[in-house]
Amino acid sequence: MISGRKKMRKDESGKGGTMAEIYDLAILGAGPAGICAAVYAARGRLDTLWLEKKFVQGGQIVNTYEVDNYPGMPGINGMELGEAMAAHAEKLGLAPVRETVVSLRDEGKVKVISTENNEYRAKTVILAMGAEHRTLGIPGEKELGGMGVSYCATCDGAFFQDCTVAVVGGGNVAAEDAILLARSCKKVYVIHRRDQLRAEKILQERLFACENVEIIWDTVPVSVEGKDQVESLRIRQVKTGEERSLPLDGVFIAVGITPNSELVRGVTELDEGGYIKAGEDGDTSTPGFFAAGDIRTKKLRQIVTAVSDGANAVASVQRYLMETEAQNSSGQS
């Protein structure tokens, strides 16, 4: 069980010579799904390679000021939670190698992972590269991230009880976020650039029924304003060009999520949104490749569901390895 770069072993063909090690498992990504997969792989004594391009482990949660919905750790800082998760894996002897994966290749029983500096081989791969929230790219958005700017109403809505907030977006997620926030917030504005929502009709009906929700049509955000926390949102009416500042306590940005799946395009099947098609067991359309966390098709993207995915994916890896080993043994007898 290692996370190092290379060691040599005798060629398994029996012809002698040496070759780069073929790992049991390669884990790509060190968010909650990847970390949990590493923990389960270490406990399962799988010969594992773990790759992560970023220096800090924890994925998106490291950008969260406070996490209040992870069992047993109410109010923990996102960076601290990521560090605690990573420390658990490291205690079991597994830490990620800091390398950027540039390509993946399926060679049947062996998967080839190429980085900027090395080439690795593994019998299985867990794809846990996560996803990224689309940003608005406006002034103040990044600076006030975690201080009133959020991309997850499910994660952070509880911090804004009896407050005034805005939801930016017009799709299903934006409508769902606004409905959720309306239950505890004093006032919810929905900022949408068009004159009608893209959300499903049933969601629109529920949204319009919320008495404390006001939709501001044909409007785009210009900047998030505030010093140490969000104080207002500068908005512009697209038809008239008129600008004004909307006093707020929080801004929830719901303009979509982009999965980090470009690496596997052509390797395994993706849905129309770019998510890897995989169920709870992590199985993809390509044998030996498994998906875990926000990168796969799923209804709820949370830390707890990502962690669950990591455990399930390793269980599927172990099952796959046993089945292929049995097939190889029967073929040689």
pLDDT of residue 155: 82
192 confidence band (pLDDT: 50, 70, 90) = very high
Q: Indicate whether 16 pLDDT > 90.
A: no
Q: Indicate whether 333 pLDDT > 80.
A: no
Alpha helices, DSSP H only, in the chain?
32-43, 78-91, 153-156, 172-182, 201-208, 303-332
User: What is the arithmetic mean of pLDDT over 229-253?
Assistant: 98
20 confidence band (pLDDT: 50, 70, 90) = low
- Active-site annotation holds for 185: no
Q: Indicate whether 19 pLDDT > 90.
A: no
For 120, phi then psi, to 5°, come to: -120, 160
pLDDT of residue 18: 33
Q: Indicate whether 14 pLDDT > 80.
A: no
- Distances 170 to 9, 182, 256, 259 between C-alpha atoms, Å: 56, 16, 10, 20
User: What is the arithmetic mean of pLDDT over 240-257?
Assistant: 96
For 287, phi then psi, to 5°, come to: -55, 135
Average pLDDT, the chain: 91
- Active-site annotation holds for 156: yes
- Active-site annotation holds for 155: yes
Q: Indicate whether 17 pLDDT > 60.
A: no
pLDDT of residue 154: 82
In the chain, the domains with their CATH numbers are 8-132+257-332 (3.50.50.60), 149-253 (3.50.50.60)
User: What is the arithmetic mean of pLDDT over 242-267?
Assistant: 96
User: 97 versus 61: which is more confidently predicted?
Assistant: 97
Catalytic residue among 24, 36, 152, 249: 152
Q: Indicate whether 49 pLDDT > 60.
A: yes
pLDDT of residue 75: 85
Pairing mode of beta strands 101-107, 110-115: antiparallel
Q: Indicate whether 56 pLDDT > 90.
A: no
66 confidence band (pLDDT: 50, 70, 90) = confident
Q: Indicate whether 312 pLDDT > 70.
A: yes
pLDDT in tens, 137-167: 999 999 999 899 999 898 899 999 999 999 9
Structure tokens at 226: 């505030």
pLDDT of residue 284: 98
Structure tokens at 257: 């999520």
Catalytic residue among 156, 249, 283, 309: 156
Tell the residue number behind the tokens 């719901």, with chain if given. Answer: 254
pLDDT of residue 2: 46
pLDDT in tens, 275-288: 999 999 999 999 99
pLDDT in tens, 27-45: 999 999 999 999 999 999 9
Q: Indicate whether 9 pLDDT > 70.
A: no
Catalytic residue among 24, 36, 155, 163: 155
pLDDT in tens, 75-123: 888 889 999 999 999 999 999 999 999 999 999 999 999 999 999 999 9
- Distances 42 to 8, 59, 76, 90 between C-alpha atoms, Å: 21, 20, 26, 9
